[in-house]
């Protein structure tokens, strides 16, 4: 492991009976980096995160997290990691301050009052300290959860779908805070479904069926996909999409606003497939493939690969 890697794990595998939830996954995340962890529901994101923070033990593989062996020194890893679960998991009949004090007790922090006060100030919760958690909106619940998983001053935050159900303004504010914290040296692994959030990350990891499909910056991930994309506008695009999908060479035909994005990983085959439809009725334009185009293509390919 090089000194600048907060996470350096290889061959990580987890099985539940006959199901292989995580299949020999390698992942490296640099210190101070925001790594977006993408994948469909059931792809293994939550299982992998729980393995990293010591809540689940790997059946194979291993490596280093924050300088500690993820298998043999999981207790040491837990003390330096903050884990924000997908669902709000705090006591709704306790106030914000009381919830934070409870978490501080769990970590046996010596000066709990000071730790709670600093957490309230850091996340802008001081004016709401006495408000019951159950009365908070989604955005404020998110702030409470982030404050709680940071109260013991971890070096790595593992966030599992942290903005699910949160309005766009609260999501933007959340991500601004994430970048401030990363600038202070905190490392993040963030599971998300949102492509606009993925593009805010320094690097991305795509997982499907428990296997890592690709890892790199947004530009690297798009480049590695070798995807060709056309935008087409015109009448009755829903019918056109159905006809296009039936042609070999068309990996996807997906509505984007008032147009379709038609993509394939073989430019020549795609050109041949769309040629009969390039009439005056439709306007076709070659465009750069976006992250969402790549994500959909990778998910579709993974689905086809496992289909009998």
How far apart are the C-alpha atoms of 192 and 142, rounded to whole Å?
14
Q: Does residue 307 register a pLDDT over 70? A: no
Asked if the 1-80+155-216 domain carries CATH number 3.40.30.10, the reply is no
Q: Check for a shared fold between 1-80+155-216 and 227-306.
A: no
Neighbouring C-beta atoms of residue 79, cutoff 10 Å? 14
Which residues, listed in sequence order, are joined to residue 252 by a DSSP beta bridge? 263
pLDDT at 308 over 80: no
Average pLDDT, the chain: 91
Question: 100: closest CA among 75, 125, 135?
Answer: 125
pLDDT tens readout for residues 131-168: 999 999 888 888 899 999 999 999 999 999 888 778 88
pTM for this prediction: 0.88
At residue 173 the predicted structure's pLDDT band, cuts being 50, 70 and 90, is: confident
Cross-strand bridge partners of residue 82: 157
DSSP the chain: --TTEEEEEEEEEEEETTEEEEEEEEEEEETT-EEEEE--TTSSHHHHHHHHTTSS--SEEEEEETTEETTTTHHHHHHTEEEE-SS--S-TTSBHHHHHHHHHHHTT-SSHHHHHHHHHHHTT-GGGTTSBGGG--HHHHHHHHHHHHHTT--SEEEEESTTTT--HHHHHHHHHHHHHHHHTT-EEEEEE--HHHHTTSSEEEEEETTEEEEEE-HHHHHHHHT-EEEEEESS-HHHHHHHHHTSTT--EEEEETTEEEEEES-HHHHHHHHGGG-STTSEEEEEPPPHHHHHHHHHHHHHHHH--
DSSP string, 118-185: HHHHHTT-GGGTTSBGGG--HHHHHHHHHHHHHTT--SEEEEESTTTT--HHHHHHHHHHHHHHHHTT
Enter the CATH code of domain 227-306: 3.30.70
Q: What is the pLDDT of residues 176-231, one digit of tens each?
A: 999 999 999 999 999 988 888 999 999 999 999 999 999 999 999 999 999 999 99
Handedness of CA 177, 179, 183, 186 (dihedral sign): positive
User: Which residues, at least 6 apart from 32, have a Cβ–Cβ distance to it below 8 Å?
Assistant: 182, 183, 185, 186, 187
Residue-wise pLDDT for 243-297, tens only, equals 999 999 999 999 998 999 999 999 999 999 999 999 889 999 999 999 999 998 8
**What pLDDT score was predicted for residue 305?**
66
Residue 1: band (very low, low, confident or very high) from pLDDT cuts 50, 70, 90: very low
- Bridging pattern class, strands 259-264 and 60-65: unpaired
Please state the domain extents for the chain: 1-80+155-216, 89-153, 227-306
pLDDT of residue 103: 93
Q: For the chain, give the longest Cα–Cα distance.
A: 74
Look-up of token digits 């890697």: 5
pLDDT tens sequence across 245-259 = 999 999 999 999 899
Residue with the larger pLDDT of the pair 268 and 303: 268
Nearest to 148 by CA among 184, 109, 187: 109
């Amino acid at each position: 492991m090089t000194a600048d890697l907060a996470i350096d794990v290889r061959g990580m595998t987890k099985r539940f009976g006959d199901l292989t939830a995580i299949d020999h996954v390698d992942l490296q995340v640099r210190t101070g980096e925001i790594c977006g962890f993408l994948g469909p529901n059931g792809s293994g994101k939550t299982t992998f995160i729980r393995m990293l923070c010591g809540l689940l033990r790997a059946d194979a593989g291993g490596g280093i997290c924050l300088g500690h062996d993820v298998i043999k020194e999981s207790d040491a890893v837990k003390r330096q990691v903050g884990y924000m679960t997908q669902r709000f998991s705090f006591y709704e009949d306790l106030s914000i301050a009381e919830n934070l004090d409870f978490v501080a007790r769990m970590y046996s922090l010596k000066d709990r009052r000071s730790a709670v006060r600093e957490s309230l100030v850091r996340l802008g919760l001081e004016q709401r300290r006495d408000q019951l958690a159950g009365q908070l909106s989604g955005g404020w619940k998110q702030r409470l959860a982030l404050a709680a998983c940071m109260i013991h001053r971890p070096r790595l935050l593992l966030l599992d779908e942290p903005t699910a159900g949160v309005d766009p303004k609260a999501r933007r504010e959340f991500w601004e805070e994430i970048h401030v914290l990363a600038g202070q040296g905190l490392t993040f692994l963030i599971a998300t479904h949102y492509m606009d959030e993925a593009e805010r990350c320094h690097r991305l990891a795509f997982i499907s069926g428990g296997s890592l499909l690709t890892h790199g910056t947004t530009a690297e991930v798009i480049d590695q996909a070798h995807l060709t994309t056309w935008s087409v506008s015109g009448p009755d695009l829903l019918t056109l999409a159905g006809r296009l999908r039936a042609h070999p060479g068309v990996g996807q035909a997906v509505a984007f606003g008032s147009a379709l994005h038609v993509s394939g990983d073989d430019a020549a085959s795609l050109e041949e497939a769309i040629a009969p439809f390039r009439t005056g009725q439709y306007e076709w334009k070659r465009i750069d493939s976006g992250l969402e185009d790549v994500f959909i293509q990778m998910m579709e390919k993974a689905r086809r690969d496992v289909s009998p």
